[in-house]
Amino acid sequence: MKRRTIGIVAYGVGNIGSLERSLGMLGYRCKTTTDPDTLSGSDLILLPGVGAFPAAMEELNRHDMVGFLQDRAQSGQPLVGICLGMQLMADRSDEVRPTTGLGIIPGYVTALENAEWHIGWNTIEAVSNDPLVRPSHGRAVYFNHSFAFQTSSDYTIGVSRLDETMAPFVVAVRRENTVGLQFHPEKSQAAGLQLLSDVIEGLCRAA
């Protein structure tokens, strides 16, 4: 079997080391770069992200990655955003100040309701039959965020809850070969590695 290559967008915002180690444990080859040719030649592009939305968009623009990522998503190349990387795929965010996002998956990013922060382990609820997250239904993964992706049910494949009395919020989205994960699979031990593998393999087979 061909050893898949994952292109990690190295725009200065993200847990690159953790991702590289996790992907290496799964047997993938990583190329961490902002070189368009290298990323385009990868089997899948991974967009990490930590911190604030406006600062991350500034860095994507500075590295000429905005139009590139939009084109790659439109072309059908598998693309995965993790944590802030997922939120950047939205049309806009009101974190810190109103900021335009990549506009790859329709929606917007706003502060979590009834909580200042969501940090720690929580379970995923698969809300569709999408094979990328359905096997992880009920598994616990690691979160660290205070803003959430608001989108329609057409693009929602996974949700979570702060507790059983509260409404769910979106933690996994998909539009064709683009997927966003609000949690950190690279920090979620065996459950996260399995989910990351399911997402990568599922998208690459569908491409």
In whole angstroms, give the CA distance from residue 198 to residue 132.
Answer: 6
**83 among known catalytic residues:** yes
Active-site option among 30, 95, 145, 184: 184
Rounded alpha-carbon distances, angstroms, from residue 169 to 49, 54, 56, 118, 144: 19, 22, 22, 11, 14
Cα 54 to Cα 108: distance, rounded to the nearest angstrom:
13
Strand pairing category for 44-47 and 29-33? unpaired
User: 59, 118, 145, 186: which one is catalytic?
Assistant: 186
Q: Does 116 participate in catalysis according to the annotation?
A: no
CA 187 – CA 148 distance, rounded (Å): 19
From the candidates 83, 95, 118, 145, give the one annotated as an active-site residue.
Answer: 83
Give the residue numbers annotated as catalytic, written as ranges: 83, 184, 186
